[in-house]
Chains A and B, each alone.
Chain A
Amino acid sequence: MHGYRGKALELLYRFNAYAGEHVIIELDSKRYEGIIMPRYESADDTHIVLKLKNGYNIGISIDRIKSIKSIEGKNQIKIAEVEREDRGLSKIAMISTGGTIASKIDYRTGGVRAMLTAKELYDAIPELGELADIYPEVLFSEYSENLTFRHWSMLAEKIYEKSKEGYKGIVVTHGTDTMHYTAAALSFAVSINKPIVLVGAQRSSDRPSSDAATNLIAATTFASKSDLNGVFVAMHDSISDDTIAIHLGTRVRKNHTSRRDAFKSIGIKPIAYVRNGEIIYNLRVETRREEYILPKFEDKVALLKYHPNMDARLIEYLSELGYKGLVLEGTGLGHVSKYLFNSIEDAIKKGMIICMTSQCIYGRVRMTVYETGRDLLRIGVLPLDDMLPEVALAKLSWALANKEDVKSVMLKNIAMEMSDRSLVD
């Protein structure tokens, strides 16, 4: 119950007490009045957490507790009312997949849950109510590290479905850890004639300094005002709260564990910025494509980062497991050790599609420069130019599940995931 287990849970049962209850806890020589609070799952089972009247939580050792007495009628927790009131603004679908953005802590359970209603959203971020009529929908509630290819498919289908319902744009709230993978996957799986904006938060939305509100406002601004099609990621441009960068979904990467400007466009500038409610276009690009939905993803695809001394049997094993595609994150211009050549060649012969990207992150692979690269090309490794490794994974998985001519699809630009020009700046 609410993180309590073992001895602490027994004690709560013994006194018929529960988390959220207003109680008096009596010790040998003193008594504490307060509300029993949920306990962290990972904490020990020998303390009860009590919120005192002054607001502080303290842990009380269960060995000292003589009794827990309930105080009647003192425990109310407000519950938001559900109501819907449109004001004739742009309609925006907000699909929630989890993560800290657009979520609130349920302190009764200690868990985080998505904001379920437009009212909850407007309550937390009043500016949203003036921007758009938002229709929130919870698709799933997962930390982004728990998302799988199946989630990508579900999300793509949901977006396509929503695109037929008269929304001006679609906002997807997402945990940040794998948001760039999802952005890339959606860029291939679904094409609609409205903006799809993924947005996350690096600081949880339960703190005043959270970047959730500014990011969400910018994402909603872009989704409701921009005519660009495609998949975008809206996140802080710097550690200041004033400018939000709009990144192309196939050119963006999470580059920092914690900073609010963790997401950066790689090898390209952000496509736009949102500042003071205005969209400032940075790159004029044609993102319009025919509408389609191709939501399948092949599971048997892997991304392998080459490192010195890598064991060639890893690739052999993937081949044995029936993997159909492998993206290598090679060194420099697109290299791996010659000791891997044999197993790579065998795997390709058995039908695996092996692509090369660079672990340098910035720049493109050029496999014609050194002998190693030339040998790999000869064996049949596909050079993916300046495609980011994570994007290549998503694209390969998608291509294998939806396309016949996978090799040529991989080498051809579809959603601005690769370019043939790298600029000085």
Chain B
Amino acid sequence: MLSYKDLNVKIGLEIHQQLATEKKLFCSCKSIEIEKHEHEFFRRLRPTQSELGEYDPAALFEFKKGRIIRYIASNNNSCLVEADEEPPHDLNSEALDIALTIAMLVNSDIVDEVHAMRKIVIDGSNTTGFQRTMLIALGGTIDGVTIQSISLEEDAAKIIDENEKIKSYSLDRLGVPLIEISLEPVTNNAEEVALLALKIGRLLRATKRVARGLGTIRQDVNISIANGNVVEIKGVQRLDQLKDVIEYEVKRQHGLMIIADMLKERIDHLDTVVKDVTSIFIDSKSKIIINAIKSNGNIKAINIKGFAGMLGFEPYQGIRLGKELGEMVRSYGLGGIFHSDELPAYGISEEELNKVREILGTEKEDAIILIAGKNVEDAINAIIKRLEEALKGVPAETRAAKGNVTVYSRPRPGAARMYPETDIAPVVIRKELLEQIRSNLPKGWDEYIDELSSKYNINRIQAEKIFDSEYLNLFERIASTCKNIQPSFIVSLLTESMTSIEREGYDISILTDDKLISIFNIVNEQRIAKESIVDIIKIMINNRCSVDEAIKNLGLESISDAALKTIIEKIIRDNLEIVKEKGDQSFNILMGKAMDKLRGKVDGKKISILIKEKISQYK
């Protein structure tokens, strides 16, 4: 186990939470996701100089890739503002209110005048090429951790598809208000950081003015270790993922440090030679290489002095310099690289390799990288730059959380990416507004949990569970309309049962609120027994069908009270001897027989009442 203390691990958390506003941040569109988009258009974005006369490295990087961006949009949730065809409207005052409320809850120092800024993002996730963002407050603490800043900003467009030529986004989410809370880096371990994130999430959700559900809260983490640079990891959506991602990243960074130390023992500077070796591979058996040559590409080889064995070396499982390089060139539209620690393989022969070695003047302690494709110069420059960084350890970069690991996405942006948003006038924060907000501050999380548990007569643990789940609002809706169902049952279904259904591999994301409500309504009307809900849900997911269809499918057609009485009546008569002999003691046997016939079709409680009634009649 790695010692975070020895490594001087520093973790800075950034929480991005969507706000539950009626409208988007700078226009009157609703923040809803939809499936059909009737419009489509194509764009290119280019870097612009900042007000201090600099280009942002991340922006230049994106531009060089030369990709076209495709947007799909619908009139139902976007307008010309999202399409960057109309200037932004006035700042949504509801969103500002919520941001100020949250800032006040954590004692952050609210600025006197809010200035909208353009944060340059030219990967296409914003049609404008920038994200509009405003610093609302500085300082304050959450759970003992110091807050750096709190900002109000617009959410980005959602990526739907991506290849080397074209990137597709939908405009649904673009412009939805987000609050960003950045914390000072902490030295805690991954688990503690995940707990911190949970607590912040709770504080935000307790205001009841933030959006809920998957994707409405995202964590970015900045991680560094001693002697390394800060790596920014974007897009962690779940807390259990957060812990794993941090642990992976610390391991990766430490691994890179180990590699750097080993390299420093061998060489004191990077020495590379690049040659075109296309002619060697004209008859290659490697498909990748032949395809590259066929599409007028070249095969280039890089000789790296003293790197033999180091590209494939694994200080930790899955952490290799070769893999880092492969991930990186992918963002240049290339499939990857071949390196000498893994060759001969992939259809590249020893003979071909020897010819390459000859051309490059490769010696025994050197490594070779082969790269195939068109216009690979930028990728080669990036590889050489990355190899130089390998001698130092951990390069500054932005990575994306993918499952439990992190993958390269782009160089880290600098402060040069911020420009004033000249389309929006600064907003002075009036004292009266602050006083009004201060006198209406929402309850804290603790108080909220107490209230939940007393209102619905559930215990605190259940209240916490439902609060932390995606279903709090839904729970309250169901609990207040379905009076025949115990709230604690609703909680356990929406939390434990849903989790286990998901673990079994069912895609619960297709269960809309309306679908879940329809299930509980039917139970509430006592048309089916609550015990069969789980089966019904599974059928609904598998067959993508309505609750009524699922009931039919399961043979759970409801049994009328009259029919039920007849069935019970028959069971009693068939077992009249036992009833007479054992009296009330016969209940268990009779109940068992009844349940065999009626399980899932009728609530067990109802059956037991009827049986008890009948026993007292016949005994």
Contact = CB atoms under 8 A, between A and B. Distances in A.
Interface of A: 30, 35, 37, 40, 42-44, 47, 49, 51-61, 64, 77-80, 104-105, 107, 124-125, 203-210, 213-214, 238-242, 257-260
B123 to A, nearest CB: 10
Interface stretch (B30-38, B41-49, B214-222, B228-236): B41-49
B115 A59 contact: yes
B521 to A, nearest CB: 45
Nearest to A204: B422
B109 A30 contact: yes
Contacts of B134: 56
Given A78-B53, A208-B59, A58 B80 contact: no
Nearest to A202: B85
B539 interface: no
Interface of B: 41-54, 59, 68, 80, 83-87, 109, 111-115, 117-120, 122, 126-130, 133-135, 139, 148-149, 151, 415-420, 422, 425-426, 428
A258 B80 contact: yes
Contacts of A205: 48
Given A59-B426, A77-B52, A258-B86, 5 more contacts: A42-B425, A54-B415, A206-B422, A207-B118, A208-B59
Give the most central of B111, B133, B428: most A CB within 10 Å: B111
Nearest to B47: A208
A58 B134 CA distance: 8
Contact of A52 (B44, B83, B114, B135): B135
Given A42-B425, A238-B41, A60 B113 contact: yes
Contacts of B420: 37, 57
B12 to A, nearest CB: 12
Contacts of B115: 49, 56-59
Given A42-B425, A79-B53, A208-B130, A56 B149 contact: yes
A105 B84 CA distance: 20
Nearest to A214: B44
14 contacts: A54-B149, A54-B415, A55-B416, A56-B117, A58-B111, A59-B428, A60-B111, A64-B112, A77-B52, A207-B48, A210-B46, A239-B85, A258-B86, A259-B85
A36 B66 CA distance: 36
Contact of A240 (B41, B59, B87): B41
A311 B48 CA distance: 51
Contact of A207 (B41, B42, B129, B425): B129
Contacts of A61: 112-113
A208 B426 contact: no
Given A61-B113, A260-B85, A209 B149 contact: no
B51 A107 contact: yes
Given A54-B149, A56-B135, A260-B85, A47 B42 contact: no
B117 to A, nearest CB: 6
A178 B112 CA distance: 39
A209 B419 CA distance: 14
A117 to B, nearest CB: 14
Which 6 residue pairs spanning A and B have beta carbons closest together? A208-B129, A59-B113, A55-B418, A107-B51, A78-B53, A61-B112
B428 A44 contact: yes
B119 A58 contact: no
A203 B47 CA distance: 14
Nearest to B83: A239
Nearest to A239: B41
Contacts of B426: 40, 43, 47, 49, 59
A208 B128 contact: yes
Contacts of B122: 208
A210 B428 CA distance: 29
A242 to B, nearest CB: 5
B135 A242 contact: no
Contacts of B418: 51, 54-57
A258 B85 contact: yes
Given A77-B52, A241-B43, A241-B44, A56 B151 contact: yes
Contact of B43 (A204, A209, A258, A259): A209
Nearest to A212: B46
Give the most central of B49, B51, B415: most A CB within 10 Å: B51
A317 B50 CA distance: 52
B419 A206 contact: yes
Nearest to B417: A55
Nearest to B127: A209
A78 B52 CA distance: 7
B53 A47 contact: no
A104 B49 contact: yes
Contacts of B43: 209, 240-241
Nearest to B51: A107
Contacts of A238: 41
A208 B46 contact: yes
Nearest to A75: B52
Contacts of B128: 203, 207-209
B362 to A, nearest CB: 36
Given A47-B428, A52-B135, A53-B415, A60 B120 contact: no
A37 B149 CA distance: 20
